[in-house]
Amino acid sequence: MKIYEPVIGLEVHAQLLSKTKAFCPVATEFGAEPNTRVGPVSAGLPGSLPVLNEEAVELAVRAGLALNCRIAERSVFSRKNYFYPDLPKGYQISQFDEPLCLGGHLDIPLAEGGTKRVGITRIHMEEDAGKSTHFASTTLVNLNRAGTPLAEIVSEPDLRGPFEASAYLRKLHAILVYADVCDGNLEEGNFRCDVNISIRPLGQKAFGTRCELKNLNSFRFVEKAIEYEIARQIAIVEAGGKVAQETRGWDAAAGKTFSMRSKEEAHDYRYFPDPDLPPLVLEAGYVERVKGEMPELPEDKKRRFVESYGLSAYDAESLTATKSLSEYFEACVREGATAKVAANWILSELLRELKDVEGDVTKSPLRPAALAALVKLIDVGTISGKIAKTVFDEMYRTGKSAAEIVEAKGLVQISDTAPIEAWVDEVLAAFPNEVESYRGGKEKLYGFFVGETMKRSKGKANPGLVNEVLRRKLGSTA
């Protein structure tokens, strides 16, 4: 069996954070009653004329700057012609041969370590279609989403597997959210992805026949769909068949892709410049103004976290993976938590609790002020780190404050030398053979003595004082 290499390119549709639609002043409001956010343009009424949304243009330019693109001074809107019930005009206003942004890139982490640069072919503006909901005998159309402004971000075919594709999407998602271009809401379809995938024998330069997987709105689904599609295409080729160029969907319940239709080419859409929209020409100084107003991006925030808070590069990278996580951390610090201790608790205990929601800190019942209060109890020696883990678990489960739990359960750390000395004496008397071995050079036994002492104190003894007393009573090893 040959070794095959997947070749993957991604097309991401990011809904721009505009209050109104791309070509008419109708609100973009998720969750409104069906067909109550529709205007003459998105409904395709005869004689209605589109007017470009200036806010959407600025957001698309901001996306291009955040992704290292060249911003075109002149770009053109075209009509992409196809028939579907949720596209009443019979065409989608998009950009084709003269897009707004060209030639960008972003760097992604690799599973084996290091980074890889992924090229971005283009970013173009377009309007969204409506939504069709299919039932056994009928289809319902909701046009609320029709005309919503999108930035379509097209990567080069530089990705070589599910991990790289997921890493690219996560990094892209973070950048767009940091830049205030898109809210990144996956559940509402505000950040969704089409995957173009083919296989070729390892070492071959020519691309294989590609399939397009449509409208994936979960990082996990993207990985699983790519894994399945690679295996499917390899099986076809190994059996002597040929992969058909087509558009496929993803069935999450079945864990497999399915055929939707044959893949269209650009000429099938009969693109031509929209006669109702003049070319978009950016005035001198426009791009520089937008650049000067850009929010702090992940790489800049990562550097600041290292320099300002003394964090390791690894911790800073982890804390800036999403905007919400970085904001949670800084809120803890503003509430008085020590930066390094807060980082440790967020990256270990908090993210462990949030693993089922992919680390989405906005879904945590524990707010930054509550976690900061726990960290401060550790900092001032009221409780030990070990006791703090018990307190954290109850805080997360019940919503009670750290102070309430510590007081109710009598968990205040013991920093009185007398009881600690008594516990240490008990341990040394109970394990004379281990004491002799330690003094004979078996230094690894020291942790055993610490653990036994903490057991006797039920975890309440001040670890620093335990170490101090043990060192003094054990003496130096041979």
pLDDT value at residue 84:
87
Q: Report pLDDT digits (tens) over 95-104.
A: 999 999 999 9
The closest alpha carbon to 106, from 151, 177, 155, belongs to 155
Query: Residue 292: is it exposed, middle or buried by C-beta count within 10 angstroms (0-12/13-18/19+)?
Result: exposed
Helix residue ranges per DSSP H, 218-350: 219-238, 286-292, 298-309, 313-319, 323-334, 339-345
- Alpha-carbon distance of 231 to 1, in angstroms, equals 13
Q: What's the average model confidence in pLDDT over 233-258?
A: 94
Look at residue 352 and tell me whether its pLDDT is greater than 90: yes
- Alpha-carbon distance of 349 to 355, in angstroms, equals 10
- Alpha-carbon distance of 161 to 429, in angstroms, equals 60
- Alpha-carbon distance of 194 to 232, in angstroms, equals 18
The first and second tokens of residue 442, run together, are: 């078996």
Amino acid at site 344: N
Please state, rounded to an integer, the average pLDDT across all residues of the chain. 93
Q: What's the average model confidence in pLDDT over 350-368?
A: 93
For the chain, domain boundaries = 4-289, 296-409, 417-474
The closest alpha carbon to 65, from 176, 171, 177, 174, belongs to 176
- Contact in structure between 252 and 225 (CB atoms under 8 Å): no
Q: Report pLDDT digits (tens) over 121-164.
A: 999 999 999 999 989 899 999 999 999 999 999 999 999 999 99
Q: What percent of the chain has pLDDT over 90?
A: 78
- Contact in structure between 60 and 102 (CB atoms under 8 Å): no
pLDDT value at residue 478:
39
Q: Which residues of 326-346 are buried (b: 16+ CB within 10 A; e: fewer)?
A: bebbbbbbebebbbebbbebb
The first and second tokens of residue 138, run together, are: 């009928």
At the topology level, CATH places domain 417-474 in Arc Repressor Mutant, subunit A (1.10.10)
Q: Report pLDDT digits (tens) over 8-59.
A: 999 999 999 999 999 999 999 888 999 999 999 999 999 999 999 999 999 9
- What is the pTM (predicted TM-score) of this model? 0.86
- Alpha-carbon distance of 240 to 396, in angstroms, equals 56
- Integer Rg of the chain from CA: 29
The closest alpha carbon to 77, from 150, 14, 19, 166, belongs to 150
pLDDT value at residue 1:
57
Look at residue 439 and tell me whether its pLDDT is greater than 60: yes
Q: What's the average model confidence in pLDDT over 328-342?
A: 96
pLDDT value at residue 475:
79
pLDDT value at residue 476:
56
Q: Report pLDDT digits (tens) over 382-393.
A: 888 888 999 999
Look at residue 82 and tell me whether its pLDDT is greater than 50: yes
The first and second tokens of residue 360, run together, are: 């989405």
Name which residue leads in pLDDT, 407 or 431.
431
